C-alpha cells in the first residue's frame, strides 16, 4: 500500500471519494500475500474505531465465520473470525460501530417442464 491512510475526518472524506468501490479489488490479493501490510491495515482499522467509530461498519456472515469491514463507506476486506479474532473483538466491543448480519439466501431459477 503506497497511499497514506487517512487520519482526520476530512482526509477520510477525500479517501472515501477516491477509493469507494476500488479498495478491495485493488488491494485484496496484495494484502493476502504481504501479511505485514495486512497488520498495518488492521492497526488503522483499530485507530479508526477509536477515533471515528461512526465511520466503521461491520457485516458479519449469518454463520458467524467471516466479517467484512467498511470505513467511510469503502469496503476494505473480508476477514475470518478465527484468524482475525483480535480485530473482531475490538469491532464488536466498540460502541458507535454499526453492525449488520448478512444472510446469504440461495436463489434458484428452476423451470419445470411437463
50-102 pLDDT, tens digit each? 999 999 999 998 888 899 999 999 999 999 998 999 999 999 999 999 999 98
Q: What is the pLDDT of residue 22?
A: 92
pLDDT band at 46 (very low <50, low <70, confident <90, very high): very high
Q: What is the pLDDT of residue 108?
A: 56
Question: Which of 90-106 are b and which e, b meaning 16 or more Cβ less than 10 Å from the residue's Cβ?
Answer: bbeeeeebeeeeeeeee
CA pair distance 58, 61, nearest whole angstrom: 10
Instruction: Provide the whole-model pTM.
Output: 0.83
pLDDT band at 28 (very low <50, low <70, confident <90, very high): confident
CA pair distance 110, 25, nearest whole angstrom: 32
Q: What is the pLDDT of residue 43?
A: 95
14-24 pLDDT, tens digit each? 999 999 989 99
Amino acid at each position: 500500500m503506497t497511499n497514506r491512510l487517512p487520519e482526520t475526518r476530512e482526509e477520510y472524506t477525500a479517501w472515501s471519494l477516491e477509493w469507494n468501490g476500488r479498495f478491495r479489488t485493488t488491494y485484496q490479493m496484495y494484502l493476502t500475500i504481504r501479511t505485514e501490510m495486512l497488520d498495518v491495515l488492521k492497526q488503522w482499522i483499530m485507530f479508526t474505531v477509536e477515533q471515528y467509530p461512526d465511520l466503521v461498519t461491520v457485516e458479519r456472515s449469518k454463520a458467524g465465520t467471516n466479517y467484512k469491514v467498511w470505513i467511510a463507506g469503502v469496503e476494505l476486506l473480508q476477514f475470518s473470525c478465527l484468524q482475525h479474532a483480535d480485530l473482531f473483538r475490538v469491532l464488536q466491543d466498540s460502541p458507535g460501530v454499526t453492525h449488520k448480519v448478512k444472510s446469504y439466501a440461495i436463489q434458484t431459477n428452476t423451470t419445470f417442464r411437463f
